[in-house]
């Protein structure tokens, strides 16, 4: 059957699938028309457009948004504390919506997608940091390094104020070490669990000791009364390690070359399998450059393997829907409702649940989440721009919907339900974005 506006007749299912994965996993889903362009251009050109897109010029975001050091908290029940709390809430809100705007607004949001990935990797929460400017700087640091040199990223993050505070680095002194940061640095950030010994952790926490944080500004400084003077033996090397040289050293470990591809695999390919030892992704990561590892990943057979479907996490789902419906978060009728929605779904940016980051796949698929997504979908579809389906004849809408939303294809069950809703665009789109075919990236 000829379907106007759809590429089903011209493009193979395999091509649609891998392009759908590219645009949803390495980007945040297509803007209207983008998926058709990708179908027309093919995979290689689409990878280039997305992954080699220029890093946007962000400007002086802190000045524009008015993100400042709010100073120490005034006394309880004082007048000043009310003002202080208002400013804090306002700044947190501004940062959160600005970040959503970047994800939704950029044509090729690869840098934001990777910043989001690293936010879940170096998972640090505002819930403890409690200072907007410090969290902004933390995420901005992730953004600086998001697609570049992982060793440099490690050096920068090991002395990042939010991360130090989050993992009690400021309580760590050589005389009474706090192992929290050293443990997570090895287990969750660079090497992977059990690829070190407890002695390595004790020694590493000595090397990391002495970095303290001015809580309100995020200024980090080395308190020489708390640092360790002398050499430490870590992972077989004895040296005068300090925080920065330790971070670099860890990034150079063979375990790191294995670990980072595993984490990329978990978020972008499959949460149930792991990459083969010596995979192309590992090889591409030999120099600890992030971009080549991503390119190797999207070009791997596994990225195209039909078995490797992946659940869109709540943030990924919402951002993809907003992009499709041309809704800008900060100018939306009720911007705060978007943040509340993400809180209700358990994935508000800047609030990862723990240092392990957000879970993946099935955990997101609860009855409560389904209810929340269905309700949100109804509201968003009543406010968003549905032109991509309303502008085509009813008979062409189901295929146009797949192209608009960047879906590889509708399963028979979904297609039949959608076919019954073509005369009611709002219901049609609501059903499409709540369908298993969309919630799970095929």
Partner 1 sequence: MSSLTRRSFIKWAGAGAVAAQTVSFADIARAAERRALPQGTPVLVVVTLYGGNDGLNTVIPYTDSVYHSLRPQLAYREDQVLPIGENLGLNRSMSGLKTLWDNGQLAIVRGVGYPRPDRSHFSSMAIWQTASRTGVKSGWLGRWVESQPVDPFLAISLGSTLPPLLAGTKRSGTVLPLNGLRVPSGTLATDLARLSVEGSADSRLMATASRSVRDLFAVGNTVSPILKNPAPPAADLPTAIGGNAGGESNLAAQLDVVAKLIAAGAPTRVWSVSLGGFDTHANEQAVQSTLLGALSTSITKFMSQMRAVNQSSNVTMLIYSEFGRRVRANASQGTDHGTSGPVFLVGGGVAGGFHGEQPSLHQLKDDDMAVTIDFRSVYASVLEHVLLTPSDRVLDTAMPKLPLFVR
Residues that bind partner 1 (CB under 8 A): 76, 125, 127-128, 168, 187, 193, 307, 309-311, 343-344, 346, 353-354, 356, 359, 361-363, 365-371, 374-375, 378, 411-414, 416-417, 420-421, 424, 427, 430-431, 434-437, 439-440
In the complex, what is the shortest distance from the CB of residue 346 to partner 1, in angstroms, rounded to a whole number?
5
* 41 or 427: CB nearest partner 1: 427
* 53 or 178: CB nearest partner 1: 178
Is the alpha carbon torsion for 371, 377, 382, 388 positive or negative?
negative
C-alpha separations of 267 from 17, 89, 304 in Å:
17, 31, 15
In the complex, what is the shortest distance from the CB of residue 33 to partner 1, in angstroms, rounded to a whole number?
26
Name which of 109, 97, 98 is nearest 28 in CA terms.
109
* 199 or 411: CB nearest partner 1: 411
In the complex, what is the shortest distance from the CB of residue 436 to partner 1, in angstroms, rounded to a whole number?
4
* 286 or 411: CB nearest partner 1: 411
Residue 234 — φ and ψ, nearest 5°? -130, 125
In the complex, what is the shortest distance from the CB of residue 155 to partner 1, in angstroms, rounded to a whole number?
24
Let me know the angle formed at the C-alpha of 267 by 200 and 286, rounded to the nearest 5 degrees.
55
CB-CB neighbours of 359 under 10 Å? 16
* 126 or 150: CB nearest partner 1: 126
* 20 or 115: CB nearest partner 1: 20
In the complex, what is the shortest distance from the CB of residue 337 to partner 1, in angstroms, rounded to a whole number?
14
Let me know the angle formed at the C-alpha of 383 by 382 and 387, rounded to the nearest 5 degrees.
85
What are the E-state strand segments in 69-217?
A: 211-214
In the complex, what is the shortest distance from the CB of residue 302 to partner 1, in angstroms, rounded to a whole number?
15
* 66 or 356: CB nearest partner 1: 356
Length of the chain, in residues: 442
Q: Is 100 exposed, middle or buried (0-12, 13-18, 19+ CB in 10 A)?
A: buried
**In 146-197, where does DSSP find H-type helix?**
150-158, 161-166, 180-184
In the complex, what is the shortest distance from the CB of residue 343 to partner 1, in angstroms, rounded to a whole number?
7
């Amino acid at each position: 059957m000829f379907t106007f506006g759809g590429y089903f007749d011209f493009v193979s299912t395999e091509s649609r699938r891998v392009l759908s994965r590219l645009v949803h996993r390495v980007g945040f889903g297509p803007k209207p028309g983008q998926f058709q362009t990708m179908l027309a251009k093919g995979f290689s050109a689409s990878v280039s457009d997305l992954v080699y897109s220029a890093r946007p010029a962000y400007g002086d975001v802190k000045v524009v948004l008015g993100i400042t050091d709010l100073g120490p908290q005034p006394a309880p029940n004082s007048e000043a504390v009310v003002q202080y709390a208002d400013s804090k809430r306002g700044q947190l809100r501004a940062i959160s919506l600005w970040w959503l705007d970047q994800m939704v607004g950029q044509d090729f949001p690869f840098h934001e997608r990777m910043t989001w990935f690293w936010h879940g990797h170096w998972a640090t929460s505002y819930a403890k940091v409690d200072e907007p400017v410090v969290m902004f700087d933390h995420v901005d640091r992730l953004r600086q390094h998001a697609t570049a040199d992982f060793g440099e990223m490690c050096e920068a993050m090991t002395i990042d104020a939010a991360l130090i505070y989050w993992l009690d680095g400021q309580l760590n002194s050589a005389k009474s070490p706090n192992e929290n940061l050293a443990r997570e640095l090895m287990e969750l950030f660079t090497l992977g669990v059990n690829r070190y010994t407890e002695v390595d952790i004790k020694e590493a926490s000595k090397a990391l000791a002495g970095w303290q944080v001015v809580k309100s500004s995020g200024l980090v400084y080395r308190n020489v009364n708390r640092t360790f003077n002398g050499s430490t033996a870590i992972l077989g090397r004895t040296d005068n390690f300090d925080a920065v040289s330790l971070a670099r050293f860890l990034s150079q470990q063979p375990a790191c070359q294995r670990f980072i591809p595993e984490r990329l695999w978990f978020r972008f390919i499959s949460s149930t399998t792991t990459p083969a030892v010596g995979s192309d992704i590992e090889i591409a990561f030999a120099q600890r450059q992030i971009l080549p590892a991503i390119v190797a990943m999207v070009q791997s057979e596994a990225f195209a393997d039909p078995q490797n479907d992946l659940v869109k996490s709540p943030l990924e789902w919402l951002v993809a829907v907003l992009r499709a419906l041309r809704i800008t978060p900060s100018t939306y009728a009720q911007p705060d409702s978007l943040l509340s929605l993400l809180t209700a779904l358990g994935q508000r940016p800047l609030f990862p649940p723990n240092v392990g980051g957000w879970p993946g796949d099935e955990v997101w698929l609860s009855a409560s989440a389904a209810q929340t997504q269905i309700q949100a979908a109804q509201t968003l579809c009543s406010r968003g721009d549905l032109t991509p389906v309303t502008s085509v004849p009813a008979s062409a809408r189901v295929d146009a919907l797949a192209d608009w939303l960047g879906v590889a294809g509708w399963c028979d069950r979904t297609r039949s339900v959608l076919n019954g809703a073509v005369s009611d665009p709002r219901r049609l789109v609501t059903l499409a974005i709540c369908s298993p075919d969309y919630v799970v990236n095929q």
